[in-house]
Amino acid sequence: MRNLKINAKIKLSVLALSLAGLSFSCSDFLDTPPKDIFTDSNFWTSENNVKTYSWLNYDTFLGYGNNSGTTADFYFHNSNNFDDNLAMNVFTTFNTTANATNANWNSYYTLIRRCNLMLERVPAVSMEEAKKNHYLGVAKFFRAFSYFRLAQEFGDVPYTDAYLNQDDAKVYKPALSRAEVINNVIKDLEEATTLMLPIDDKNITVNKYTAYALLSRVALYEGTNRKYNLAQPGTQYLQKAKDAALAVMNNAAYKLNPDWKSLYNSLELLNNTEVILGKRYLRGVLGNSIQAYTNTSTVQSGLSKFAAESYTTINGLPVKQIGGNAEYLGDNTITNVFANRDPRFAKAFGNVDYAYSDKPLNGLTSITGYVFQLYNNPAATGTEVTTIGQNQIDAPIFTLSEVYLNYAEACAELGTATNADLNLSINKVKARAGIATLTTDGSNASVGGIQINDPQRTSALEQISGVVSPLIWEIRRERRLEFMSWTSLRKADILRWKKGDYLDGTKNPDVLLGARIPSLIGTASKTKVDANGYVIPYTVSRTFIAPKHYLSAIPTNDISLFLAEGVELKQNPGW
């Protein structure tokens, strides 16, 4: 049944492709009317056609990537999307010059055009009113998601909420400010929550609670981005983030799954109570390559020293707790490193031995020595593990765990966090992980009656852009560990907190180091280590330049196209 259903979706999607407005530039997607055997007048005739058209929107969720592709939200890196957790097996750094085109810019605007057409045509389609409203909400959801990502990546961007004809004077107009774009995104999402059905096709299509989950993400982003990057009040957005998260948390249908790892290594996330929205993969229809890249002779991307030291011990204390942490046994051996640590550490990375070019482990090597194993599933065998494009584990897109941590962070940033708030949110995540839960006096954080005092929180690195309270620090730590390898989410967090310096090898040397292997000191091994025995994965470093690298460059082709129409599309600072 599942196979037939998905194949039917693919066939119908091909028919609807004529209305997708696929393009290669912002101007093209605004200008070009759809062409094919279907016309605009004969397609919008039934609920089934509307549903088919809406399926095209889901390609925007990258998940683990498509087939052999490595453009994904997890694990894989490129010059526009890398974080401080995983060192890519091939060195990655920031773009230095503006590119003529940008794939994200093109694909987001293509989706926006589809959504604007959908919003214009659906009201005239004969269908049940509740379903009509739902699909209007679906269009608003995807339009909001696309504009949100545009604003995150590019700042001020052209904005239109109408499906425009080629000769419309509004096709080319100055970019709208990032703040106004985000306000429109929030407006779309708030309207979507009132229009969409509470559930539609289980957790593989968007619904009212997916809209609330995205709203909590967007509003948290805006509230913290304003506070840390713009020195502006973000209170109203933080309150929206808290309220939207609570709407999901109050839905008893959503519950944390007992096994954290199962979110990332399951062959089937359908009906998983923690997954608000998932991306499904199926043999012969759609695969990914996430397992193949971590289970074959390809050198793995590896955990950085900077990330490894962020894992607390089971008692909830940081490894360098001022005053000491008896549970932490140091890093002289891999046994000591993993002893008494947050159980998610050993679920994501192998704790038996390090693996590197001089000494593979079961055929595997890692650029930093830490063997990545989060995606391993014993039920998956053969080519479904080892062959690029044939892996079938499903990917989480929105989860209850993220919503819980959105809520906790919003409360902490508002300065209103209570122990009841922590128990309602972050402590559920920590308890599931198997580590001690937090208490707070509103600013400080404690575990088991001991106040957390992490020297990293007030280090020179943190003081570059500003030190945060112990409670906010611990909530940020929890996001990092809970979503380890969720590259796009971590990168967005780093930038909204104004912590781009985390990615700079000079300001933060630990981001370009790996496991400690003292036996390699002074040897002629191919794997190089520093004087203390920490693996050096690269012979080059990277520099984060502010404000340049907080935003991507506006594609120069589009700047030229707009200029030809008498409209200046300004380039971002530093580019």
4 pLDDT higher than 70: no
Give the lowest-confidence range in 31-40, 46-55, 112-121, 480-489.
31-40
**pLDDT given for residue 27 in this prediction:** 42
The pTM (predicted TM-score) of the whole model is: 0.93
Average pLDDT of the chain, as a whole number = 92
Of all residues in the chain, what percent carry a pLDDT higher than 90?
89
pLDDT at position 38 is 64
Give the least confident one: 18-27, 143-152, 443-452.
18-27
Report the run of H or E that residue 147 belongs to, with start and end: helix 129-154
pLDDT for residue 3 = 37
Q: Are 55 and 16 in contact (CB under 8 A)?
A: yes
Classify domain 2-71+100-255 at the CATH topology level.
1.25.40
Quick: pLDDT tens for 129-150.
Answer: 999 999 999 999 999 999 999 9
Helix then strand then coil, % of the chain, to nearest 5: 45, 5, 50
Cis peptide, bond prior to residue 396, ω within 30 of zero: no
Model pLDDT for residues 251-290, shown as the tens digit of each residue:
999 999 999 999 999 999 999 999 999 999 999 999 999 9
User: Could you read off the pLDDT of 290-336 as tens digits, one per residue?
Assistant: 999 999 999 999 999 999 999 999 999 999 999 999 999 999 999 99
pLDDT at 13: 37
pLDDT of amino acid 7: 34
Pairing of strands 395-399, 439-440: unpaired
As a dihedral over the C-alpha atoms of residue 335, residue 337, residue 341, residue 346, rounded to 10 degrees, the angle is -70
Length of the chain: 575
Segment holding 400, helix H or strand E: helix 400-414
Q: What is the pLDDT, as a whole number, of residue 37?
A: 55
**Residue 523 backbone phi and psi in degrees, to 5:** -100, 175
d(CA 190, CA 198): 14
Structure tokens at 158: 């052209």
**pLDDT score for 42:** 84
Quote the CA–CA distance of 406 and 529 in Å, as a whole number: 38
The SS3 assignment for 288 reads: strand
CA 209 to each of CA 172, 212, 223, 458: distance values in angstroms, whole numbers, following the listed order: 35, 5, 21, 38
Q: Which of 270, 281, 279 is nearest to 391 (CA)?
A: 281
Tens digit of each residue's pLDDT (9 = 90 or more) over 333-374: 999 999 999 999 999 999 999 999 999 999 999 999 999 999
Residue 8 predicted with pLDDT over 60: no
Percentage of the chain beyond pLDDT 70 is 93
Q: Would you place residue 202 in the very low, low, confident or very high pLDDT band (cuts 50, 70, 90)?
A: confident
Nearest alpha carbon to residue 317 among 136, 120, 473, 518: 473
Bigger pLDDT: 423 vs 11? 423
Residue 419 amino acid letter: N
Kindly list the distances between the CA atom of residue 24 and the CA atoms of 102, 106, 107, 145, 388, in Å, as whole numbers in the listed order.
Answer: 9, 6, 8, 20, 28
Measured CA to CA, the distance from residue 25 to residue 97 in angstroms comes to 19
Instruction: Read off φ and ψ for residue 318, nearest 5 degrees.
Output: -65, 155
**What string of H, E and C letters represents the secondary structure of 149-201?**
HHHHHHCCECCCCCCCCCCCCCCCCCCECHHHHHHHHHHHHHHHHHHCCCCCC
Q: How far apart are CA 163 and CA 170, in angstroms?
A: 10
**How much is the pLDDT for 41?**
75
Q: E strands along 342-394, which residues?
A: none
CB 552 within 8 A of CB 80: yes
For 497-520, write each residue's pLDDT tens digit. 999 999 999 999 999 999 999 999
- Average pLDDT of span 397-422: 98
For residue 347, give Cα distances in angstroms to 179, 319, 370, 376, 443: 40, 19, 12, 10, 31
